[in-house]
A and B are shown apart, each in its own frame.
Chain A
Amino acid sequence: MSKFRKDDKKETPPISTAALPDIVFMLLFFIMVSTTMREVTMKVKIQLPQATELNKLERKSLVSYIYIGPPQQQYQAVFGSEPRIQLNDAFASVGDIQDFIVAEREARDENEVPLMVTSLKVDQYTKMGIVSDVKQELRRVNALHINYSARKRVEK
Chain B
Amino acid sequence: MPRKLPEYNAASLADIAFMLLLFFLVTTTMDTDSGLERRLPPPPPPDQDLSQQPQIKERNVFSVLVNKNDQLLVQGQPMRIRDLRQKAEEFMANPSNDPKLPEKEVKDIPFFGPTEITKGVISLRNDVGTTYGTYISVQNELVGAINDLREQLAQQHFGKAFKDLEEPQQKSIREIYPSRISEAEPKKVGKK
Nearest CB in chain B to that of A122: its residue: B132
Cβ 8 A contact of A35, one of B24, B40, B133:
B24
Q: Mark A15-29, 1 if CB is under 8 A from B, else 0.
A: 001101100110110
Contacting A at CB under 8 A, from B2-24, are 10-11, 13-14, 16-18, 20-21, 24
- The CA of A51 and the CA of B185, in the complex, are separated in Å by 24
Would you call B27 an interface residue if the criterion is a C-beta within 8 Å of the partner chain's C-beta atoms? yes
Would you call B182 an interface residue if the criterion is a C-beta within 8 Å of the partner chain's C-beta atoms? no
Say yes or no: B28 contacts A49, CB within 8 Å: no
Cβ 8 A contact of B127, one of A35, A128, A146:
A128
Given A128-B130, A139-B41, are A24 and B21 neighbors across the interface (CB < 8 Å)?
A: yes
Would you call A138 an interface residue if the criterion is a C-beta within 8 Å of the partner chain's C-beta atoms? yes
Binds B, one of A3-11, A53-61, A88-96, A108-116: A53-61
Would you call B1 an interface residue if the criterion is a C-beta within 8 Å of the partner chain's C-beta atoms? no
Interface size on A, residues (CB 8 A): 53
Say yes or no: B41 contacts A152, CB within 8 Å: no
Q: Mark B20-35, 1 if CB is under 8 A from A, else 0.
A: 1100110111101111
Nearest CB in chain A to that of B34: its residue: A54
Say yes or no: B39 contacts A146, CB within 8 Å: yes
Say yes or no: B129 contacts A36, CB within 8 Å: no
Say yes or no: B17 contacts A142, CB within 8 Å: no
- The CA of A74 and the CA of B42, in the complex, are separated in Å by 39
Say yes or no: B30 contacts A51, CB within 8 Å: no
A55 neighbours in B (Cβ, 8 Å): 34-37
A31 neighbours in B (Cβ, 8 Å): 21, 24-25, 28
Question: What's the interface size class on B, roughly?
Answer: 35 or more
B18 neighbours in A (Cβ, 8 Å): 24
A56 neighbours in B (Cβ, 8 Å): 32-34
How far apart are B139's CB and chain A's nearest CB, in angstroms? Answer: 7
Say yes or no: B40 contacts A148, CB within 8 Å: no
Say yes or no: B131 contacts A124, CB within 8 Å: yes
Would you call A52 an interface residue if the criterion is a C-beta within 8 Å of the partner chain's C-beta atoms? yes
Say yes or no: B43 contacts A38, CB within 8 Å: no
B131 neighbours in A (Cβ, 8 Å): 124-128
Say yes or no: A20 contacts B14, CB within 8 Å: yes
Interface residues of B (CB under 8 A from A): 10-11, 13-14, 16-18, 20-21, 24-25, 27-30, 32-43, 126-133, 135-137, 139-140, 143-144, 147, 186
Interface residues of A (CB under 8 A from B): 17-18, 20-21, 24-25, 27-28, 31-32, 34-38, 49-57, 60, 63, 117, 119-120, 122-129, 131-132, 135-136, 138-140, 142, 144-150, 152
7 CB < 8 A contacts A-B: A20-B10, A24-B17, A28-B17, A31-B25, A125-B133, A128-B129, A148-B36
